[in-house]
Structure 1
Amino acid sequence: MPGLSPSEQLLIGLSRLGQAVRLSAWHNAGPTKLTPLQSDILLFLDGDRRPRRQGEIVTALASTAPTVSDAVRALAGKDLVDRQRDPADSRAVTLVLTEAGRTEAARLATIPEPLRAALDGLGEEDVAAMLRGTTSMIRILQQWHAIPVSRTCVTCRFYRPDAHPGDLRHPHHCAFVDAAFGDVDLRLDCPDHQTADD
């Protein structure tokens, strides 16, 4: 029976999951009524607490400078983000979370119940397969410059894929922590990430 290919069906499924995550972000706006972009900015700043320039956020979130500038202005108005002069360049501004911003980021990092229920319905093998597939797709999209480079295992200089071929559960190796790990442990956002050479 003719119809969509499995790859096309998968793309539809990924689109539906993206909708669920976005709707969840709107429903999880919290007391400060955060937009999804504002939530993403808080989580980005919380993931790496060094002072970050606004341009880094634009790149990391694949947004535009005016859109991020408006979101940062709103976050500063809500006392969630503090803007400071960059000591290395007095013309530049860096951003850090305030104490209230860190509290709000911690709230946002808690997976909402509908998404938690969906994830809990998966077995470890399904999670590992989905992480492996998602990581592979992200890497290819990054190579095509379709999305910004993110802090994934496969783009990290510490990642050693299939370094332990005899260990089916833990075939990969992380040189940062010097430990073997499996597909179920692949990270799509790691604070210890250092971009590998091409």
Structure 2
Amino acid sequence: MYIRRMETPKNPLSLNYRIREGLSRLAMAMRVDEWERAKAIGLNPTQLAILTLLEGRKGGLGVKEIAAHLGVSQPTATDSINALGKKGHVEKRAGQGDRRSIGVHLTPAGLAALRHDTEGQLAEQAIGSLDDGEQQQLLITLVKMIRHLQEKDAIPVQRMCVTCRYFAPFVHADEERPHHCHFVNASFGQRELRVDCRDHELADPSSRAATWETFETG
């Protein structure tokens, strides 16, 4: 007969497993938030995710790119895009360089829907329960995890500071603002690191690797 091994403080499951358990609980709360926010503006979570993805992307995105960023199939992305188009939240435009290339763009109506506020989101409350130092460390940890996933080609390259050609890590002696952004020519600190920056320009692979090594070693 199979007897399930009991977990005790002296015999816990692996740290990796327990962290994944914790992340799954947070993901569940975020899914609840997404459903509530989407429902408030008459959408579903996939449609809301598409609007969020398109915000700040003046050049729009193709269906294939949208599907890759959301981790859904192209037919699923197409169905959601068509539904958003009927609501007037997105529109399709031919590319300027290649008229055969079609991009999906956010409309003013879509932007207005996206700006609809939903108070009391669970994940936001949980993050707010952390002090400033804990929030900063969590942000850095998330940046590291996201980078690992994109280096494994599990997700598309994100518009993070650490992948941007304008980012220069730890070039200033000021411990509060050690990094430099050459796009705005200003120094900034760890807590100001971006996960999705509108002004991001992807650095070449060798530069990204060198930047990451400097960032990681500090």
TM-score between the two structures when normalised by the length of structure 1: 0.89
Percent sequence identity over matched residues? 37
Amino acid at match of 2:137: A
Change (3 A) 1:150 1:111: farther
Query: In the alignment, does 2:176 pair up with 1:186?
Result: no
Query: In the alignment, does 2:156 pair up with 1:156?
Result: no
CA displacement at 1:63 relative to structure 2: 2.5
Query: In the alignment, does 2:48 pair up with 1:39?
Result: yes
Contact conserved, 1:32 with 1:78, CA < 8 A, in 2? Answer: no
Q: Which residue of 2 aligns with 1:27?
A: 36
Question: Which consecutive unaligned segments of at least 5 residues does structure 1 have?
Answer: none
Distance (Å, rounded) in 1 between the aligned partners of 2:151 and 2:19: 21
Residue 80 of structure 2: which of 64, 71, 79 is its match? Answer: 71
Moved segments of 4+, more than 4 Å: none
Q: Which residue of 1 aligns with 2:178?
A: 171
CA displacement at 1:192 relative to structure 2: 0.7
CA displacement at 1:22 relative to structure 2: 1.3
Query: In the alignment, does 2:104 pair up with 1:95?
Result: yes
Question: Which consecutive unaligned segments of at least 5 residues does structure 2 have?
Answer: 1-9, 206-218
Change (3 A) 1:155 1:20: same
Question: Bigger radius of gyration, 1 or 2?
Answer: 2
Range that drifts further, 14-23 or 90-99: 90-99
Change (3 A) 1:54 1:112: farther
Contact conserved, 2:89 with 2:107, CA < 8 A, in 1? Answer: yes
Range that drifts further, 91-100 or 140-149: 91-100
Distance (Å, rounded) in 2 between the aligned partners of 1:112 and 1:75: 26
Distance (Å, rounded) in 1 between the aligned partners of 2:127 and 2:41: 27
Q: Which residue of 1 aligns with 2:66?
A: 57
CA displacement at 1:196 relative to structure 2: 1.2
Change (3 A) 1:63 1:191: same
Amino acid at match of 1:41: I
Q: Which residue of 2 aligns with 1:4?
A: 13
- Indicate the RMSD between aligned Cα atoms, in angstroms: 1.9
Distance (Å, rounded) in 1 between the aligned partners of 2:16 and 2:97: 48
Query: In the alignment, does 2:130 pair up with 1:135?
Result: no
Distance (Å, rounded) in 1 between the aligned partners of 2:83 and 2:120: 24
Structure that is richer in strand per residue: 1
Change (3 A) 1:57 1:117: same
**How many correspondences in the alignment?**
196
Q: Which residue of 2 aligns with 1:120?
A: 128
Range that drifts further, 34-43 or 24-33: 24-33
Distance (Å, rounded) in 2 between the aligned partners of 1:143 and 1:64: 21
